[in-house]
């Protein structure tokens, strides 16, 4: 992987991690177009730079995460992340196999886009406006919804936001809780991937060039994600999710055409 390729992937990650359009799907397609998708370091890089993106959540919402005596808040996140940790451990190999499939990404983007076109009308009676009102049960259900994102192209953000709205959270609160839930979820995924790589391909993490690319990628993903979150919350409060639905449908359709033509 070149420095330029790392910067491109990091920008894609920063923009897409918290938007309901699938960061994993976009990075798989981007790396496929750059012909580096099969590289072991690329697979690690695509997951590891998510750490930079999720740190932007901690910075933007530092009052939610600090002081550390808000045990109730942390317990909700722990309960909500349990389904993803369990299913991720049970089906890790199958998930890794799906990560190599542009067709899976394209179909997931298309189907998810159709869902987003109607989500505002389906869940239009929110009753939960503050995170203090989110019960442990609601958090756990949202965590189950998040597991749908193990299918590349579904979008962790979209799945957990839809889960939040199904549990009667307002659009903005559902989005914020999705951001909060990303912190333990992606931290666990990144830690697991780094540990697995260290055991199976230790030479990857001993390469100084690779370590430099990981550092650059995380910094860029962090900065871009900060801007993306601010845009997303403001936009969703005013206009809802329809724009993202149409975007997913168009991108999914284009990708299916490219796959049929043999370009992917």
pLDDT in tens, 13-35: 999 998 999 888 888 889 988 98
Token readout for 189 is 């995924």
pLDDT of 263 > 80? The answer is no
Q: Degrees (nearest 5) of the Cα angle 252, 257, 260?
A: 125
Separation CA 8–CA 147 (nearest Å)? 27
d(CA 147, CA 83): 7
d(CA 216, CA 15): 16
pTM: 0.86
pLDDT one-digit tens code per residue, 208-260 = 999 999 999 999 999 999 999 989 988 988 888 999 999 999 999 999 998 88
What is the token pair recorded at 76? 């909700």
For the residues of the chain, what is the DSSP string, one character each?
Answer: --HHHHHHHHHHHHHHTTTTT-HHHHHHHHHHHTT-TT-HHHHHHHHHTHHHHHHHHHHHTHHHH-STT-HHHHHHHHHHHHHHHHHHHHSHHHHHHHTT-HHHHHHHHHHHHHHHHHHHHHS----B-SGGG--HHHHHHHHHHHGGGGSTTS-HHHHHHHHHHHTTB-HHHHHHHHHHHHHHHHHHHHHHHHHHHHHH-HHHHH-HHHHHHHHHHHHHHHHHHHHHHHHHHHHHHHH-SHHHHHHHHHHHHHHHHHHHHT--
Q: Could you tell me which residue, 176 or 264, shows the higher pLDDT? A: 176
- Rounded-to-integer distance, Cα 48 and Cα 59, Å: 18
State the total domains in the chain: 1
**Residues of the domain holding 149:** 3-261
What local confidence, expressed as pLDDT, does residue 43 receive?
87
- Return the C-alpha torsion angle 229, 10, 213, 57, nearest 10: 10
Residue that has been written with the tokens 């990650």 in this structure: 13
**How many CA atoms within 13 Å lie on the side-chain side of 21?**
23
Q: What is the pLDDT of residue 59?
A: 92
pLDDT of residue 98: 65
Q: What is the pLDDT of residue 140?
A: 96
């Amino acid at each position: 992987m070149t420095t330029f390729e790392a910067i491109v992937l990091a920008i894609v990650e920063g923009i897409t991690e918290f938007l309901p359009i699938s960061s994993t799907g976009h990075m798989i397609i981007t790396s496929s177009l750059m012909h580096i998708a099969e590289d072991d370091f690329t697979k690690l890089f695509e997951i590891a730079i998510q750490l930079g993106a999720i740190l932007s959540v901690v910075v933007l919402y530092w009052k939610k995460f600090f002081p550390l005596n808000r045990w109730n808040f942390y317990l909700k996140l722990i309960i909500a992340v349990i389904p993803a940790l369990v299913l991720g451990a049970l089906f890790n190999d199958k998930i890794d196999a799906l990560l190599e499939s542009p067709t899976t990404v394209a179909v997931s983007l298309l189907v998810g886009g159709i869902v987003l076109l109607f989500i505002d009308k389906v869940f239009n009676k929110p009753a939960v406006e503050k995170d203090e009102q989110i019960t442990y049960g609601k958090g756990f259900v949202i965590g189950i919804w998040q597991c749908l994102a193990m299918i590349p192209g579904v979008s962790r953000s979209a799945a957990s936001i839809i889960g939040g709205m199904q549990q009667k959270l307002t659009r903005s609160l559902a989005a914020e809780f999705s951001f909060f839930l990303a912190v333990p979820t992606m931290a666990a995924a990144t830690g697991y991937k780094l540990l697995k790589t260290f055991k199976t391909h230790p030479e990857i993490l001993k390469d100084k060039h690779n370590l430099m690319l990981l550092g650059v990628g995380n910094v860029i993903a962090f900065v871009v994600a900060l801007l993306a979150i601010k845009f997303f919350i403001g936009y969703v409060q005013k206009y809802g999710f329809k724009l993202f639905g149409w975007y997913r449908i168009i991108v999914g359709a284009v990708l299916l055409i490219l796959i049929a033509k043999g370009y992917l």
